[in-house]
């Protein structure tokens, strides 16, 4: 909660985690998704107004009087507000054993840890962004900051809540090809149905038509047998 506006690059969504606020005491850079960045920019515009009204609408021990902080709230303040939001949404289920919220704040880190690899990011990239330096393999040492960011950006769409991942040109061409193939198969099926309907009409009109079909089929089979 100690992130300040000076720690955030609002042009790229890059955030510097200072040593004094890092969980493991080691500074690092991490990123937020393009979707989260849009929300953060909206919050930045509202931030001064929030600071003015905080005294009237916020419990004193929740609010931290520091306009440099991105979120001028104590951890307890964030936790309490988060709990009230869950309650209003009907998502405030608690673990019967521990009494803790099932969807407590730490679940967000678990979500990040689970989802980002599903988008293609390596475990090393994910662990690095989370500040878990002790889990990194030797291969991570060879990755540059630019490569880490590129890996995150390529996978970040799996973290989006409201946005959907755009289809790239290669995927679009593949879908178009599959669509053409399906249309061709459908046209073939429709021709077969039309032919069968015509044959049924002929058979229904004259018994001789049925005999002709049988004779033609026999000749066809005999021709194949003779050719073999």
- Residues 158, 207, single domain; the answer is no
User: Do 4 and 68 belong together in one domain?
Assistant: yes
Mean pLDDT value across residues 189-204: 74
Assess contact for 83 and 89: CB atoms under 8 A. Answer: no
Q: Which of 73, 92, 127 is the last residue of a domain?
A: 73
Q: Residue 80 falls within a domain, yes or no?
A: no
CA 80/CA 101 separation, integer angstroms: 12
Whole-structure pTM value: 0.63
Task: Please check whether residues 6 and 56 belong to one and the same domain.
Answer: yes
Angle at 48 between CA 47 and CA 49, to 5 degrees: 90
180 & 218 share domain = yes
Residue 7 predicted with pLDDT over 90: yes
Domains contained in the chain, number: 3
Whether residues 182 and 155 share a domain: the answer is no
Where does the pLDDT of residue 93 fall: very low under 50, low under 70, confident under 90, or very high at 90 and above? Answer: very high
Over 90: is that where the pLDDT of 167 sits? Answer: no
Q: 173 or 224: which carries more pLDDT confidence?
A: 173
- The answer as to whether 56 is a domain residue is yes
In a domain, 87, yes or no: no
Q: Is position 141 within any domain?
A: yes
Report the C-alpha gap between 64 and 72 in whole angstroms: 5
Residue 99 lies in a domain: no
Q: Are residues 29 and 59 in the same domain?
A: yes
Tell me, yes or no, whether 160 and 214 share the same domain. no
The model's pLDDT over 10-53, given as tens digits with 9 standing for 90+, comes to 998 999 999 988 877 888 889 999 999 999 999 999 988 887 77
7 CB-near residues (< 8 Å, 6+ apart):
15, 16, 17, 18, 70
Check whether residue 28 and residue 66 sit in a common domain: yes
Task: Please identify, among 126, 149, 165, the residue that sits at the C-terminal boundary of a domain.
Answer: 165
Q: Are residues 154 and 194 in the same domain?
A: no
Confidence of residue 81 (pLDDT cuts 50, 70, 90): confident
Are 67 and 131 in a shared domain? no
The residue range of the domain holding 215 is: 171-226
Residue 54 is encoded by which pair of tokens? 């905080």
Question: Where does a domain end: 140, 165, 190?
Answer: 165
On whether both 59 and 122 belong to a single domain, the answer is: no
* Token pair for 127: 């662990």
């Amino acid at each position: 909660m100690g992130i300040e506006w000076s720690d955030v690059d609002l042009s790229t969504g890059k955030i510097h985690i200072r040593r004094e606020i890092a969980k493991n005491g080691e500074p690092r850079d991490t990123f937020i998704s393009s979707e989260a960045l849009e929300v953060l920019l909206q919050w930045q515009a509202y931030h001064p107004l929030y600071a003015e009204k905080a005294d009237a609408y916020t419990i004193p021990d929740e609010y931290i009087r520091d306009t440099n902080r991105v979120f001028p709230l104590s951890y307890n303040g964030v936790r309490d507000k988060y709990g009230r939001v869950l309650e209003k949404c009907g998502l405030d289920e608690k673990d019967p054993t521990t009494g803790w919220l099932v969807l407590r704040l730490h679940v967000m880190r678990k979500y990040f840890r689970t989802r980002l690899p599903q988008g293609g990011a390596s475990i090393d990239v994910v662990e690095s962004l989370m500040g878990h330096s002790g889990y990194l393999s030797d291969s991570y040492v060879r990755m540059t900051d630019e490569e880490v960011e590129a890996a995150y950006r390529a996978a970040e769409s799996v973290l989006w809540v409201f946005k959907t991942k755009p289809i790239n040109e290669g995927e679009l061409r593949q879908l178009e090809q599959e669509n053409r193939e399906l249309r061709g198969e459908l046209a073939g099926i429709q021709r077969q149905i039309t032919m069968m309907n015509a044959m049924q009409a002929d058979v229904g009109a004259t018994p001789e038509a049925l005999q002709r079909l049988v004779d033609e089929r026999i000749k066809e089979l005999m021709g194949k047998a003779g050719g073999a």
